[in-house]
Structure 1
Amino acid sequence: MSRGPALAPLRERPFRWYFASRAVNLVGSTMASVALAFAVLEVSDSPTALGTVLAAFSTPMVLFLLAGGVVADRIGPTRTIQAGNVAAGLSQLTSAALLLTGTAELWHLAALAAVNGTAAAMTLPALASVLPSLVPREQLQQANVLVSMTRSGFTVVGPSLAALLVVTVGPGWALAVDGTTYLLSALLLTQVRLPRPERDLDAPGGPAGALRELREGWRFVRATPWFCVVVLAFCVIVALHQGGMYTLGPVLAKDTEAIGEEGWGLVLSAEALGLVLTGLVLLRVRLERPLLLGMLGTAVYGAPLVAMGLDPALATVLLCAFAAGAAIEVFGLGWNLAMQEQVPAAMLSRAYSFDALGSFLAIPLGQLAAGPLAAAFGLRPVMLAAGVGIAAVALATLLAPSVRRLPRAPSTAPPPGPVAATAGTA
């Protein structure tokens, strides 16, 4: 695949504006965690206080994810993203103003974090579902990769930029920059004009209509075997990875002379590098059998955990982290292509909301269980078990024919048909 087709989505005006909006949005969202953490610690140096504010963000995000999918399918993904970005921007700017005037209290930051978490719940399904409306079907792979590479790049740059702002001008100004990026992102998205989704005029509105659409989404999920298998697998995979990599990983790095704190930073950077470089390859190589290759890639996702469990030598862990980043990029693209090509457009945001809910629900379980398990069985054995468990669960999904055999849709195929027809043939 030549450079021209690789960058073809950027020739589509709606995608160009969306891409610019998404890039600006990613600057803010990748800065947010660092800026918010130091903002809370400026008000209170208690770890409990920080945990309270983080929980105030994550709890409504999980609670309202399904509602976010319904809203996006009802009013359209671009309008949903705009509204969410405005809400997030205003909440962050309000937090910044309170910090800069010296009037911020913990309950202020917790309440505003809850607003931000609710905004995130509204926008996440819409962000995932909008691409099929912006580019021709044959450009879906390149469009997904371009967005993914941008996200990976800002994941490296954003936290460092936030930390620099915190050190030089303080967390209040860091949050002000963060809030401004959300509002600018919403402004850029006004140039993406998509028709409102077609609605059933006889369908009930208000809460009754929302519940009806949520039940429709659940029926579709239950009737789509490959979706159920992969989402259930990722409930376990995310719990194992969050607990092993991000809860126990820093502890092992700090206690292991061969890695250390600086080495741990290199490990995370190596994973991000694997994501970016694999994205460059996938701009030019068509990904066939998206879930087969995606789940094979996911089996490699636990490689750094296996390396740290067996022999935590920095060079080995770096190599495994790079491979894990490359592998999970393959899964991410494969999953998005499966969703965007196989799920009806009118159902896509709701399907993504069920997907996100399945993953996010498992995160606290992995984080809370990792410490007690390590205390009972040892740090390295638990990390090794988590890495092996990720590979085993990923490979087990391939026993399902619907996962193993799911093909790419032909580039000339029409968009997925009506919900009922597609669910019946899944």
Structure 2
Amino acid sequence: MQHALARLPLVPATDAPEDREPEPPDSDASPVTGTGLTSGQPLRSPAFRWFLSGQSISMAGSAMSPVALAFGVLEVTHSAAWLSVVTTAALVPMVAALLLGGGIADRYRRDTVLCLTSLGAGLTQAGVAFVLLAHLQPALLLPLSALNGVFQGLTKPALRGIVSNLAAGRGIQQASSLLASVRNTARILGPAGAGLLTASVGGGWAIAADAVSFLLAAACFARMSLPDPPPRAHDSGSTMLGELREGWAYFSSQPWIWTVTSAFAVFNALNMGVWQILGPVIANGTIGADGWGLVLGARGVGALLASVLMVKLTVRQPMAPALSLMALSAVPLILLGIGVNTVWLAAAAFVSGVASEFFTVVWETVCNTHIPERLLSRVGAHDEFWSFVPIPIGQLSTPVLVAAFGTAAVAVTGGGVAAVAMLVPLLVPSLRRIEVNRHGT
């Protein structure tokens, strides 16, 4: 899910007892408690500062990677087909590894998981850089990309769960907002830096810089020193398979979670298909490449602004406004189909950036507040897995639909359906009543 993820040692989670149903999100029972940190001040924690430093370095490198990889592969192969194959070789294993990553991140210390996966991602990216710089056989990129995808798939669930280990109360939203600000800054500056580096010394060296960023991030994560996870109860299942089943049982029993995931499954398929596939095609015949770049930049600026504001802004019951704003984030798809000028499309993209980042911070805060800490990574893995799986379907089906119904019809209809999908979860009463910062001030 785009949407689009932590302090001093925690007291073990006080979630619902193992022999009864999980507490509903509006229950008085707190799933997470913390000590040793004034709530709302995550930057006072050395562990969070190391995590933020590692994430900042890693995000900067990852933001450079798509541009560097694209030009690096094209420089070696002169083939768009090879670029597509290399990209897919990383994407499929990443999605496939998400659920396993959730089980690992809830079973072992998340700082250790992040350290090892970052180290693995750095080594595989270094291998990709070597293949590109040495102009070796392009087929060697495939296993390296696949391994890199696996490491990143194992990383994502740990990132979703670790904030609750490093922040408490209002500090959870502030921590999520700070991380989102870093992420959005990297998204704005990273591609430009990758373009300059690629143009000056080549895409292979830009990929090498990304590899170094992973290794430096691993060194930062190694300094966090989180406590070991609390011991497992005997009836919760001591095997990895048993714990994965427990994560699915919790995810599937909470309508406030799976309805949002389902909504994003629809939204992601339509948004990625229309925006990423049709967007450049429509822009090429209307506002041009420079106009499309302005639109994408406006969206990034909106996302950055929202993440900065969310450090201080709190909404007691945030899910209704967050999902309503996400419905507005589908408006650019409709405007693409209508064929508006650059100014209107950029303005809509700016609002979309604000809306999507507002939702991302809210969702991370709600999940870290209301899901038991010991289940966070497994539930987060299901959230991301089921919302990511439809993306290739949307991307592959969009050209077929365009051939049958036309570009404008697909863009406008896709935008309308995506907007409605975001509003459907609001039919769940427990979702509308969810509060944040109930367990800390």
TM-score by length of 2: 0.88
Question: What's the offset of the Cα at 1:402?
Answer: 2.1
Q: What is the alpha-carbon distance in structure 2 between the residues aligned to residue 171 and residue 277 of structure 1?
A: 30
- CA deviation string 1:136-192 (max 9, x = no partner): 322111111110011011011111211211111012211111100000000011111
Stretch of structure 1 that moved more, 369-378 or 219-228: 369-378
Name the counterpart of 1:240.
Answer: 270
Partner of residue 215 from structure 2, selected from 169, 183, 205: 183
Other-structure match for 2:230: 198
**1:261 paired to 2:289:** yes
Letter of the aligned partner of 2:190 in structure 1?
Answer: G
Distance 1:325 1:100 in 2: 36
Distance 1:174 1:48, change over 3 A: same
Residue 252 (structure 2) pairs with residue 252 (structure 1): no
User: In the alignment, does 2:80 pair up with 1:52?
Assistant: no
Q: CA deviation at 1:117?
A: 0.1
Any residues of structure 2 matched to 1:281-296 within 5 Å, and which? 281-296=309-324
Identical counterparts, % of pairs: 36
Aligned to 1:331: 359
Paired with 1:202 and 1:132, the residues of 2 have a C-alpha distance of 24
Counterpart of 1:421 in structure 2 is none
* Partner residue of 1:272 out of 291, 300, 309: 300
Output the CA distance in 2 between the equivalents of 1:185 and 1:200.
30
User: What amino acid sits opposite 1:331 in the alignment?
Assistant: F
Report how far residue 333 of structure 1 moved. Answer: 1.3
Matched residues in 2 for 1:107 and 1:360: separation? Answer: 26
Give, in whole Å, the separation in 1 of the partners of 2:265 and 2:189.
29
- Residues 1:220 and 2:250 aligned together: yes
SS at match of 2:239: helix
Computed over aligned residues only, the root mean square deviation of the Cα atoms, in angstroms, reads: 1.8
Give the secondary-structure state (helix, strand or coil) at the position aligned to 1:285: coil
> Between Structure 1 and Structure 2, which shows a larger proportion of helix residues?
1
DSSP 3-state at the match of 1:130: helix
Question: TM (normalized to structure 1)?
Answer: 0.91
Per the TM alignment, residue 131 of structure 1 is displaced from its structure 2 partner at its CA by 0.8
* Preserved contact between residue 221 and residue 227 of structure 1 (Cα < 8 Å): yes
CA 1:204–1:139 in structure 2 vs 1: closer, same or farther (change >3 Å)?
A: closer
Aligned partner (choices 362, 374, 397) of residue 402 of structure 2: 374
Change in 2 beyond 3 A, CA 1:309/1:170 = same
Mapped contact 1:64–1:118 kept (Cα < 8 A): yes
Which residue of structure 2 lines up, in the alignment, with residue 299 of structure 1? Answer: 327
Question: Mind listing any 5+ residue stretches in structure 1 that lack a counterpart?
Answer: 414-426
Matches within 5 A, 1:358-397: 358-397=386-425
Quick check: 1:99 aligned with 2:104? no
Q: Per-residue deviation at 1:311?
A: 3.6
1:138 is aligned to 2:189? no
Q: 1:135 & 1:358 partners in 2: Cα distance?
A: 27
Aligned residue identity for 2:277:
T
